[in-house]
Amino acid sequence: MSTALTSRENDCRSCYKCIRVCPTKSISFRNGQASIIAGECVMCGACYLACPQSCKVIRDDTSKALDLIAMGHAIASVAPSFLAAFPGCDFASVKEALRKLGFLDAEETAIGATIVKRQYDDLCDDGKHDIIISTCCHSLNLLVEKHYPDAAKYLAPVLSPMLAHGQDIKRRHPGAKVVFLGPCISKKGEIEMYPDYVDCVLTFIELRNLLEKKGITVGPAKKGSEKEEKSRARLFPIDDGILLTMKRDNPDFAYLSVSGMENCIAALKDILSGKIHHAFLEMSSCGGSCINGPALSSPHSPIKSNLEIRRSAGREDFSVHSYASAELSKRLPAFSVASLEPNEKEIKKVLAQIGKTEKKDELNCSSCGYATCRDKAIAVIKGKASLEMCLPYLMDKARSFSNNIVEGSDNAIVVTDERLRIQLANASFAHLVKTGDSKGLVGTSIDTYLDSGLFSLALGGEATKNRKVYLGQYGAYVEATVSFDPHFHIVIAVLRDVTRLEEERKKEEAAAQETSRVTAEVIEKNMRAVQEIASLLGQSAAETKVALTALEKALNKGKGHDE
């Protein structure tokens, strides 16, 4: 399948905007990242326009176009919505800019629109059809072929104006290379499905970027220039534009215009349910038709663009070659995107997993991007969505998780706003400040229960961590951690009650002091005893010394006498 429109996952942040606007829910989510399902995508560009992170990317074919231009035989087919992309210009100024860019020539795709609308008139007049749906819009064609295949038989088997014009250019200019310039993403996919008519497609965004890079500007319409009367098909890109160019001669046919995906889907459902008969339906995926295409290049006023296009269109048709119906016939491919629908048991199982066990639990809030909880459950079963895409489920889960932590904590937890008004308090905090109900604390000032000093410090940017504080009014010691969350503008305090630990510490200190005192007394008594013993030992030693000295002398004297 075409990769004209893809997702860049890096910056995707689970906002689900793309799935909310996708008319066919052709986007899958995995790990919070969105991916386009190419086989289901109709390339309408709704997700491209909605993505706030620019994660949807249109394939850039500028290099391919430049290569074709360099060959010297490139002719531009310019969609009539150019007046919305380049307000205030005319085709002559666009053609001049394109020739400066290197194109051999430039023509209006409205020439192909003239060829096509004649085929529509013939189909309405041949008496063989009940309902005919225009096939100018490739996104609308894909919507029918992929998602409402039973209505495919009503699609007019006629080339789009782009393809018809490409064929016409190549008939008149053998060897020419055709580059279509327009507001559509889906046209890039159309030329892949129908090769040989057009060689390259550039969106008006790509064209503007290329012109700016080359220093080329599309000038304003020249004053006094005459309006070309043979240009009625310039009306094609506005609501009723196709119908305004057709003869509409069949009195038995209703000629209707429907634009915007939601309206087109509703019309297809009415067709399939048998509510519409004998009608030609001009259908466009973009609300307001092609002047609101997803790749116009710059903001514009739809009303002003509509008026400019109406004023630029003449009363007569472009002069075009007559083609046989067979030359403009368009094959309508069959797509296989249908999948087996899950059964009721599987759906209920998924619903139960996100807390929706009863019908009243199915809020159908569409925050996940799906219209109903049931649609979301089916998407989960098909692997296109995840349980976590359900916002109420996530909120309940987060609330339950946080409540279990906060309420189940032995630590006192209190949260205040910037005015120090309590926003949340758990049961442990209520117990600490000796109040019965924690819910009753909400809305009161923290000053009523605690010294707000640490809270004020936190607001000033000075956080407190594990600071021991004595709460005299409650006879309690706490270790306080207080910080300010600037994102949510709240002060969070966690107070760990350490009263028992503090009392035990004091008892241990007192016991240690008493032990120290007793030990000191024992030491003192022992020292006195030692000193007394030492004193007695000293006196005894002196007397012994005297006696021994006298004995020694006596012995020495006796020894001398014997000699």
CATH (domain of 439): 3.30.450.20
What is the arithmetic mean of pLDDT over 82-90?
93
Give 151-192 pLDDT, tens digit per residue.
999 999 999 999 999 999 999 999 999 999 999 999 999 999
Average pLDDT over residues 407-411: 86
- Domain membership of residue 502 (yes or no) is no
Question: Does residue 359 lie within any of the structural domains?
Answer: yes
Query: What is the average pLDDT across 91-103?
Result: 97
Q: Which of 73-82, 259-268, 331-340 has the lowest mean pLDDT?
A: 331-340
Residue where the block lists tokens 């046989």? 324
Whether 559 has a pLDDT exceeding 60, the answer reads: no
Phi, psi of 483 (to 5 degrees): -145, 160
d(CA 188, CA 398): 44
Q: Would residue 107 count as lying in a domain?
A: yes
In total, how many domains does the chain have? 3
Rg of the chain's alpha carbons, rounded to an integer?
44
The reply to whether 317 and 441 lie within a common domain is: no
Q: Per-residue confidence at 53, pLDDT binned at 50, 70, 90? A: confident
Whether residue 259 is found in the same domain as residue 402: no
Q: Based on the domain organization, do 205 and 282 belong to the same domain?
A: yes
Please, what is the average pLDDT of the chain? 90
Which of 22-36, 409-423, 509-523 is most confident? 409-423
Average pLDDT over residues 191-208: 96
Indicate whether 22 belongs to any domain: no
Task: Say if residue 112 is in the same domain as residue 171.
Answer: yes
pLDDT at 1: 46
- Could you give the CA distance from residue 375 to residue 391 in angstroms, rounded to a whole number? 15
Instruction: Say whether both 348 and 461 belong to one domain.
Output: no
Residue 539 counted as domain residue: no
Contacts of 61 by beta carbon, 8 Å cutoff, 6+ apart: 188, 200, 201, 202, 206
- Pairing mode of beta strands 490-497, 476-485: antiparallel
User: Could you tell me the CA-to-CA distances from 70 to 66, 103, 210 in Å, in that order?
Assistant: 6, 9, 14
Q: Are residues 392 and 418 in the same domain?
A: no
Bigger pLDDT: 529 vs 72? 72
Task: Look at residues 436, 466, 497 and tell me which one is the last residue of a structural domain.
Answer: 497
Are residues 98 and 181 located together in one domain of the fold? yes
| The predicted structure's pLDDT at residue 366 | 82
Q: Is 170 left (phi over 0), alpha (psi -120 to 50) or beta?
A: alpha
Task: Report d(CA 203, CA 552) in Å as an integer.
Answer: 133
Please write the tens of the pLDDT for every residue from 476-505. 999 999 999 998 899 999 999 998 888 888
Pairing type for strands 422-425 and 412-417 reads antiparallel
What one-character DSSP code corresponds to residue 563? Answer: -
Q: Are residues 401 and 420 in the same domain?
A: no
How distant is the alpha carbon of residue 321 from its chain centre? Answer: 49
- 197, pLDDT greater than 70: yes
Same domain membership, residue 253 and residue 153? yes
212 with 68, same domain: the answer is: yes
- Sequence-distant (6+) residues with CB within 8 A of 214 are 100, 101
Q: What phi, psi does 213 have (nearest 5°)?
A: -65, -35
Let me know: does 38 contact 3? Beta carbons within 8 Å: yes
552 part of a folded domain: no
24 in any annotated domain: no
Q: Is 44 among the domain residues? A: no
Same domain? For 76 and 91 the reply is: yes
Identify the band that residue 32 occupies on the pLDDT scale cut at 50, 70 and 90: confident
Mean pLDDT of 348-362: 87
Residues 355 and 296 in one domain: no
The owner of tokens 């060959």 is 71
Q: Which domain holds residue 486?
A: 409-497
Sort 227 into a burial class: Cβ within 10 Å, 0-12 / 13-18 / 19+: exposed
CA distance 312 to 130: 34
Q: Is the pTM of this model over 0.85?
A: no
